[in-house]
A and B are shown apart, each in its own frame.
Chain A
Amino acid sequence: MSVLERLTERLTAVLPPDAVVTDPVRLRTYECDGLTVHRAVPGVVVLPETTEQVAAVVRLCREHGVPFVARGSGTGLSGGALPRTDGVLVVTSRMRRIVEIDVPDRRAVVEPGVTNLAITEAVRDQGYYYAPDPSSQQVCSIGGNVAENSGGAHCLKYGFTVNHVLAAEIVTPDGDVVELSAGDPGYDLLGAFVGSEGTLGIATKITVRLSRAPEAVTTLLAAFTGIEAGGHAVSAIIAAGVVPAAIEMMDALAIEAAEAAVHCGYPAGAGAVLVVELDGPRAEVEHQFAAVERICRDSGAFEIRTAASGEERAAIWKGRKSAFAAVGRISPAYIVQDGVVPRTALPRVLAGIDRLQEEYGIRVANVFHAGDGNLHPLVLFDDAVPGERERAETVSGRILDLCVEHGGSITGEHGVGVDKSRYMPRMFTEDDLGTMQLLRCAFDPEGLANPGKVFPTPRLCGEAPGVRTGVHPLVEAGLAEQF
């Protein structure tokens, strides 16, 4: 009997019936998340319903020395929830109760499987909402948002998940249930946990901040003939001291895809569209709207539309929010890239992406959160054409090089996961990575929580960062391997 089989037997004993999946055909449906280029069939899948069950699973994993990976809705785009063939996939999709809504204190307590949008829907009638809004908000889970520190179009003004999580109940890799709170004195452990991509434990209850819905919201769609003019408008808007709730840009190819998918009716002939949303007190929004409109016209916008109603606003956003998946209409396959550049470097980086397209004969659709320089190039390819996937992957990687060269980052909001761990050394020195590893080991000395993610090379805990000398005592004892 293998370790995994022994563990499965124990799991079956502590979980409800139907909560342990071992059938090979069923297991395979969990082989990837939203990023399908990386696949691994999990050793076993569990579907716990309570914190106690999650803790029991983690304790059993630790007891058996088996790695575990947490998964929410499986929409991640960096392979953060890629399973381990020798491990347990802990799926939180049955933990989707909204535990408490406390409007006077502006907070809600939810289980990790609750979708991002479900929180807003639960409090909308009372004039509140949950601010971070990743494009997959109707499906992505709040647990996944916490793991990835997800952003969204509106994080330009309102910040990322980390700014909206007040506390979390987590199961540590030891199997202990611990409460982390933003209000705790001392080290900001909650801050460390948010965005840790499942390497520090599994969140089982999350207390989120509820935000008051703004008095006024105005959404404006500006069409430009080319992407440079759009980029110029973005810089000019920010330079004018306006902080919009969101500034989004899409290029011609992305517009074509969105048009094919949701018939969003963006202006014909647009080489780029800018979606600018302003919110806040009515007088302020009106004042800013006038400024934004003038700047767009000065930058060469040939058509400007303003959403007069909630439906019209939804129609404008629909094109933008469905853009990733919509690209499936114009290309058999694609890579969603996620990088950040300083806003001022936008035109140069976009020109660089253009050059890469020509050099490799690969099309790239650009969709991005222009306000904070978060690019989402969609690199299109067809598996039926030999070599095209490889070229697409090269282009995708070189786009990240461009971002780093211009002082940016290899990820804005999708996380490092398994997909970008290899790019970490392009941003960080050995010392930097070693220091991060020390933090990780403080939570997970055995290295069982989502191993193989974030860091380019697995390391052993207790190993001092820096130059390696001699053989590690654990390796010598035959207890561990070094790669």
Chain B
Amino acid sequence: MDPELIKDCVHCGFCLPTCPTYVLWGEEMDSPRGRIHLMGQHTEGTPLTGAMAGHFDACLGCMACVTACPSGVRYDRLIEQTRAVVEREHVRRPDERAVRALVFALFPYRRRLRAMRLPMRLGRRLQPFLERVNPSLGAMAELAPADVPRPVRLPPLVRARGPRRARVGLLTGCVQGEFFPQVNAATARVLALEGCDVVIPPRQGCCGALSLHSGREAEARRFARRTVAVFGRADVDAVVVNAAGCGSSMKTYAEVLADDPAWAARAGALRIRDLAEFLAELGPAAERRPLPVSVAYHDACHLAHAQGVRAQPRDLLRAVPGLELREVAEAAICCGSAGTYNLFQPRAARELGDRKAERVLATGAEVLVSANPGCSMQIAAAVRRAGGGEIRVAHTAEVLDASLRGLDPGVLGRSPGAGKARTKR
């Protein structure tokens, strides 16, 4: 926790109403201003107490406060540094440790995630039981998509249609790749149709976002170096990322690897772009066909707050003929997914999820568009809890893909989630 960064906070409180936990609980120590104060206490010598660690753990890392802060406090850096301190100095309860070990042994590895397909199907049915064993396991079972589409094997290179305008790399991600393979396929098609050669290195792994956002520094650096190496070799103009959490971490690679100047330089040489951001910079070339559908666009925190990408996805959606874009109230407040948050802090995550589901349903839109797999699962689970059945969720890439290929809007968000497994609740 860098005291210089802490000093930037002037205690004005502008962050308070944007902080999801302050919105929920209305107490100072669960606001960004209060957490920065706690960090200050620790740097001044107060030992890290269980209470302190609890308030840091309760932070979603949504970065809404970074957007709101007029003094430019780098809360993003501060909370990352703080989480690493918590990991080093705080001894968690055995059940918390076990759940964390499970999550970090599973999520960053696609093959292990794939092995989870069958247990996941059972998990939904066993949810009430798992919930009693441990709320985190219960949350995991509840969030799991009911009907994961079959894995899509993407070729190492998808050639541009028409004149080539760029050569890009595509990060396939862990959860995105395994639970939402159709999103990656749609992303590759959209990029190709817009004139990009799409390089999809088969040996890419986890980008390290989960580790980075959970204070597991060494692991994060290892994943970061590997990703930098893989995409460095791919010789691309930009690395396109369609998962908000991954993109925001990859944009900070140079900071993550700052201790090693050679790696930091390699990381700095990569141009990381969110899909919507990249398409907006590239400009449209392919013809948009009508897609008569109403969509509610959900701002993923790691896109809107961490990367400042708000206008681009909306502009892309609005440019689709026939599509009606609806805004979700309280768009700047996190849905409670926040990487691993809904697994480690299931109670708070559920409250936020319910709040978000209510506002999403109030739009009356046919399809929810979200650019982060975590948000999609979180909001879908919350809508199920609210008795809203299976909400149709699609990624911006899928909407564009449907428009570029002239598909029927009925295909959007039909899977995962739709189908037989959903009636069991």
Chain A residues packing against B (C-beta within 8 Å): 18, 21, 23, 25-26, 28-34, 36, 47, 73-75, 91, 93-94, 96, 113, 115, 136, 138-140, 260-262, 322, 324-329, 332-334
Contact indicator A94/B71 (Cβ below 8 Å): no
Choose from A29, A138, A261 the contact partner of B17 (Cβ within 8 Å).
A138
Contacts of B52 in A (CB 8 A): 25
Contact indicator A322/B70 (Cβ below 8 Å): yes
Contacts of A32 in B (CB 8 A): 11
Give Cα A329–Cα B27 distance, bound, in whole angstroms: 27
Give Cα A91–Cα B11 distance, bound, in whole angstroms: 17
Q: What does the 1/0 interface line of B1-21 toward A look like (CB < 8 Å)?
A: 000000111111110110000
Contact indicator B71/A328 (Cβ below 8 Å): yes
Contacts of B423 in A (CB 8 A): none
Contact indicator B26/A93 (Cβ below 8 Å): yes
Contact indicator B7/A332 (Cβ below 8 Å): yes
Listed residue (A29, A34, A262, A333) with the most chain B CB atoms within 10 angstroms of its CB: A29
User: With A34-B11, A73-B13, A136-B12 in contact, do A29 and B70 touch (Cβ < 8 Å)?
Assistant: no
Contact indicator A136/B13 (Cβ below 8 Å): yes
B315 nearest CB across to chain A (Å): 15
Chain A residue at minimal CB-CB distance from B27: A47
Chain B residue at minimal CB-CB distance from A21: B27
Partner-contacting stretch, out of B33-41, B102-110, B125-133: B33-41
A-B residue pairs in contact (CB < 8 Å), sample of 15: A25-B38, A26-B55, A30-B28, A31-B37, A34-B11, A47-B27, A75-B13, A93-B22, A136-B12, A136-B14, A139-B12, A139-B17, A260-B72, A325-B69, A328-B9
Give Cα A74–Cα B28 distance, bound, in whole angstroms: 9
Contact indicator B12/A29 (Cβ below 8 Å): no
Give Cα A327–Cα B13 distance, bound, in whole angstroms: 15
Contacts of B10 in A (CB 8 A): 36, 325, 327-328, 333-334
B337 nearest CB across to chain A (Å): 25
Give Cα A32–Cα B51 distance, bound, in whole angstroms: 20
Contact indicator B46/A139 (Cβ below 8 Å): no
Q: What does the 1/0 interface line of B374-411 toward A look like (CB < 8 Å)?
A: 00000000000000000000000000000000000000
Residue B29 at the A interface, CB < 8 A? yes
User: With A25-B51, A26-B51, A34-B12 in contact, do A94 and B70 touch (Cβ < 8 Å)?
Assistant: no
Contact indicator A261/B16 (Cβ below 8 Å): no
Chain A residue at minimal CB-CB distance from B4: A332
Choose from A31, A75, A93, A333 the contact partner of B12 (Cβ within 8 Å).
A75
Give Cα A332–Cα B9 distance, bound, in whole angstroms: 9
Give Cα A94–Cα B71 distance, bound, in whole angstroms: 26
Contact indicator B8/A328 (Cβ below 8 Å): yes
Contact indicator B12/A324 (Cβ below 8 Å): yes
A59 nearest CB across to chain B (Å): 23
Contacts of A332 in B (CB 8 A): 7
Give Cα A30–Cα B51 distance, bound, in whole angstroms: 15
Residue B49 at the A interface, CB < 8 A? yes
Contact indicator B28/A29 (Cβ below 8 Å): yes
A28 nearest CB across to chain B (Å): 6
Contacts of B33 in A (CB 8 A): 29, 74
Contacts of B12 in A (CB 8 A): 34, 75, 136, 139, 324-325
Contact indicator A94/B26 (Cβ below 8 Å): yes
Contacts of A47 in B (CB 8 A): 26-27
Contact indicator B72/A328 (Cβ below 8 Å): yes
Give Cα A23–Cα B51 distance, bound, in whole angstroms: 8
Give Cα A329–Cα B12 distance, bound, in whole angstroms: 13
Give Cα A115–Cα B55 distance, bound, in whole angstroms: 23
B283 nearest CB across to chain A (Å): 23
Listed residue (B7, B9, B16, B55) with the most chain A CB atoms within 10 angstroms of its CB: B16
Contact indicator A74/B13 (Cβ below 8 Å): yes
Give Cα A92–Cα B25 distance, bound, in whole angstroms: 12
A338 nearest CB across to chain B (Å): 15
Contact indicator B16/A139 (Cβ below 8 Å): yes
B16 nearest CB across to chain A (Å): 5
Contact indicator B13/A34 (Cβ below 8 Å): yes
Contact indicator A28/B27 (Cβ below 8 Å): no
A325-B12, A325-B14 given; 20 more Cβ-contact pairs under 8 Å? A21-B27, A25-B46, A26-B55, A36-B10, A47-B26, A47-B27, A74-B13, A91-B26, A91-B27, A93-B27, A139-B16, A139-B17, A262-B70, A322-B70, A324-B70, A325-B71, A327-B10, A328-B8, A328-B72, A329-B71
